[in-house]
Chain A
Amino acid sequence: MDIKIIKYYYGDIPEDKGAGGNGDNSASKEFWPLWEVFIRSKQGIDHKHVGSLHAADAKMAIENARDVYTRRMEGVSIWVVESKYIHASNPDEAASFYEPANDKVYRHPTFYDLPDELTHM
């Protein structure tokens, strides 16, 4: 079985590449698209990103995720989403994105007087 795998990274996955679940274009016959995997653990209420994998469709992606990421009892629920649908912020814009928040300490709720009865804050 000869399967070619080309790995794309976020932000540069072409629209015509790696259509999975609903895709029936020629690319999906040749390449297995990349999927992002989110697992909810027994303790957690949120699904956390755990990694990525290749699969032909959503069903296979969930099964692959089960085999790759829940072998050691890590999870009770799996989400997968095709990586091409993830849109990421650009690291080059980090300065304008995040640094303006650095000197705005008043946005943290640290300027309140707490009543003595409140112990777990």
Chain B
Amino acid sequence: MGLLTYTSKRIILSALVILGTISITFFLSRVIPSNPAALWAGQHPTIEQVKKASEMLGLDKPLYVQYFSYVTNLMQGDLGVSVRFKRSVLWDILYRLPATLELVITSFIIALALGIPLGVISAVKENKLVDHLTRTVSIAGASIPVFWLGIVFKIIFFGTLGILPLTGRLSIETTLYNPITRITGFHLIDSLLTGNGPAFIDALAHLVLPAVTLAAYPLGLCTRMVRATMIEVLRENYIRAARASGVSENTIIFRYALKNAIVPAFTAIGLSFAYSITGAFLIESIFDWKGLGWYLTYALSAIDYPVIVGVTIFVCIFYVTINLFLDILQTVVDPRVKY
């Protein structure tokens, strides 16, 4: 099987998985005891208005018709319309997405930049004091409830030390005096692109706490994974043979062993990236970070079901795509994996 066939097979399978998810979410959402038509019709609607809204939303049609139209709409990229905001759900999602991505990507970079070296050191000095300390720290990282850590950080850094901002992505001053022109939606990138120095610093300051909080779990996970795989690899015969041929220890650890170790750790680390998306949702609610998670949390309290369903599906598709990407990447990076 060539790479192309393998990829197509995986794509089809992923599509089936997504379809299954959509179906499950759809039927779940239709069971929610809410009245979207009333919600749509606004405050204190009359029965007439509710009926009209119901018609417009297609709620009076039988369930399977609704399902069918929903799925076909989905194929065309139409995720429905938010009942409360009366805007396209997809549009809202895309508007909010960069905020979440900015958070997740930054935290992930922190996690990898710290986690991989820590994992390597831990493995090389296995069972020595350094290893025990690193192990404890990394397990701690994986055990801390992310919402609590955020709160604690807020108390320490804002409450007591007063050095970092409390919530939001930007301070009020910046939005008023140095507004960032939206190009990509990523405040850091946009402010750099437009040469908006003070806004960049402000955005960065706001990014620090949420990103570091979010990084705790992937950091712990990454350290442990890298440590585990490195230990395995360092035990292998080819490492011993390389040592027997006199190659320097640094080369053996950082060039040979690390590459061997990253490959299996890859999938796990990649999965934690997707997992971080959901962690980000919690963080967003604590730090008032207006990303996808914030959007979803609002929808949950208002029971705006197109939004709930829409975001769920979107995240699922994202998740599945990442999985797919990881699988394909692994076959490329590891020459031994046969497809």
Is B a genuine binding partner of A? no
Residues of B with Cβ closer than 8 Å to A?
A: none
